[in-house]
């Protein structure tokens, strides 16, 4: 599991947002401690060395596919990307929404789910006149991050069938249909024995 700090997260976030690239001089945040330009230049070089940033023709830094996968992996569920964020630093639901570019209700729902599972803890934080919910990762959440496997992306065509295996070993058989709104049609549920036959 890569070890990022808050400055790494901020750099990758700004690079993801930027259309033309960023430089160390562009990273400024008045509400948090901002390292000096030389320290930031070192951070940029380190992220480039890890293939998370690359330089474009103008000499600006752009995020790479590996950089995108650090916090915004397209195949990772939202709750897993939230754990990656909270491993770096405790954040509020609003900050999580900002960094991941996800709607606040979806982020709040995912945070509540991982809080109930015991992966994160929530505490109230008063900032000026607002009361914010601050989330921090727990050892169980770190364990989940270590055990997480990248999910597989499959390309299916209309008429293809596949089985979704549930935690209890049972499954659901689906068929892909030509419908943009509901592209899956459930065919039947399968017992654990029936699922094993397809493995």
Alpha-carbon distance of 133 to 110, in angstroms, equals 14
In three-state secondary structure terms, 80 is helix
Residue 36 reports pLDDT greater than 80? no
Element (H, E) at 185: strand 184-190
- For residues 135 and 93, the answer to whether their CB atoms sit within 8 Å is yes
Name the average pLDDT for the chain: 85
CATH code of 76-147, in short, is 1.10.10.10
CA R_g for the chain: 21
Instruction: Kindly report, residue by residue over 40-75, the tens digit of the pLDDT.
Output: 888 899 999 999 999 998 889 999 999 998 999 877
Question: What pLDDT sits at residue 32?
Answer: 47
| Residue 30 confidence class, pLDDT cut points 50, 70, 90 | very low
CATH architecture group of domain 6-68? Orthogonal Bundle (1.10)
Query: What residues does each domain of the chain span?
Result: 6-68, 76-147, 161-198
| pLDDT (0 to 100) of residue 157 | 82
Chain length of the chain: 199
Question: What is the number of other CB atoms lying within 10 angstroms of the CB of residue 9?
Answer: 19
Same fold, 6-68 and 76-147: yes
Instruction: Decide if 43 contacts 11 (C-beta within 8 A).
Output: yes
Is it the case that residue 110 has pLDDT exceeding 70?
yes
Of residues 168, 87, 67, 4, the one with CA closest to residue 79: 87
Q: Which tens digit of pLDDT belongs to each residue from 135-190?
A: 999 999 999 888 876 555 567 788 888 788 777 788 888 888 887 767 878 888 88
Contact 150, 73 (CB under 8 A): yes
**DSSP string for 123-146:** EEEEETTEEEEEEEE-HHHHHHHH
């Amino acid at each position: 599991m890569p070890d990022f700090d808050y400055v790494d997260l901020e750099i990758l976030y700004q690079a993801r947002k930027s259309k033309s690239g960023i430089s160390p001089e562009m990273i400024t945040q008045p509400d948090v401690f901002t390292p000096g330009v030389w320290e930031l230049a070192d951070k940029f070089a380190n992220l480039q060395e890890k293939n998370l940033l690359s330089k474009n023709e103008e000499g600006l830094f752009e995020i790479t596919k590996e950089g995108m996968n650090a916090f915004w992996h397209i195949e990772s569920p939202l709750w897993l990307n939230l754990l990656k964020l909270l491993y770096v630093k405790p954040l509020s639901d609003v900050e999580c929404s900002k960094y991941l570019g996800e709607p606040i209700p979806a982020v709040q729902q995912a945070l509540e789910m991982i809080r109930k599972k015991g992966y994160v803890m929530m505490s109230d934080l008063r900032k000026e006149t607002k009361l914010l919910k601050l989330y921090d990762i727990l050892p169980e959440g770190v364990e989940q991050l270590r055990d997480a496997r990248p999910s597989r992306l499959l390309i299916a065509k209309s008429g293809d069938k596949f089985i979704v295996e549930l935690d209890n070993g049972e499954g659901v058989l689906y068929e892909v249909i030509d419908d943009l709104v509901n592209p899956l049609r459930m065919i039947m549920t399968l017992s654990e024995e029936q699922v094993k036959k397809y493995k």
